[in-house]
Amino acid sequence: MENTGQNSPLGNHTTLVEFILIGFSDLPKLQGLLFGVFLILYIFILMGNSLIIVITKVDPSLQTPMYFFLRNFSFLEICYVSVTLPRLLADLWRQYGNISFLACAIQMYFFLILADTECFILTAMAYDRYVAICNPLLYPVIMNNKLCIQLALICWTTAVPMQIGLLSVIFSSPFCENNQMNHFFCDVPPIVQLICGDTFVIEMLAYVIAAFVVIIPFLLILGSYMKIISTILKLPSATGRTKAFSTCSSHLMVVTLFFGSGIIVYFRPKSTHSSGLDKYFSLMYSILIPVFNPIIYCLRNKDVMVALGKFLQKWIVL
């Protein structure tokens, strides 16, 4: 996250009243098409993830810890994408991406805490799969209702205080006269580029927080899956191995897409840094992952497909 601002700093950063989100204005002929595509994606995200929430709540066969965390994850995806997509749609519609200083700070805060929460929930889901496959006899005892609720609360609340410190440091810094941000929402890398002066402290703080909420959860998930794969390969039945792999494959796909794109944006070396490239990588973890979630968990999960069929049949009869 290097500082590329070439203008002199403002006398007082509070005089900066707004930023300009360039977004996809470099594609003027595609504004209408992009608006239509993102609107369809947003509707699909809302409907698909809402459907998962309803199905996993009402179907008796899906009242397990695995689907409890999936329900949390789907609700998180709705909140997560609603922080950025409505604003992007409004900017595409009016073809002007101005956002106030305060609105930018608020958007960044909620985006960061929801992204952090997603990392934690994906880790909790990996732990659930680890216990289910590596300790199946103790699974009902370990993954009891109390522990599931406690893990969910930890996931939803841990990131809230951490990001307050980062945002206070970022938005108390002096900004340059150039207020144009080559992005479609207020994220850390493009904002830091607009800060004048030394950004070393901000970058180090951002890296430390990112390491805590991204690298550590990713390593925990990786460790869980190493144990899971080792256990699955020892199963004597080919049918058992196939079933065990199928219960993990959906989660593993989401983890790979989300963490992979996030690590590329936040931990890529400065020598290869490009705000324009970051913008397109951000599409992956901010919009496309919430789109893939209902597809992956419905089409690749027989239990969810059966429950969906029963749910739709019930409503069609009504």
Residue pLDDT, tens place only, 263-300: 877 776 655 556 567 788 788 888 888 888 888 877 66
Residue pLDDT, tens place only, 67-99: 999 999 999 999 999 999 999 999 999 888 899
Q: How confident is the model at residue 3 (pLDDT cuts 50, 70, 90)?
A: very low
Domain spanning 13-317: CATH superfamily: Rhodopsin 7-helix transmembrane proteins (1.20.1070.10)
Residue 289 has a pLDDT of 84
If you count DSSP H runs as helices and E runs as strands, how many of each does the chain have, helices first?
Answer: 14, 3
Alpha helices by DSSP H, 59-180:
65-82, 85-94, 101-134, 139-142, 145-157, 159-171
> So where are the chain's domains?
13-317
Strands 18-21, 98-100: pairing is: antiparallel
Closest by alpha carbon to 158, among 203, 121, 108, 201? 121
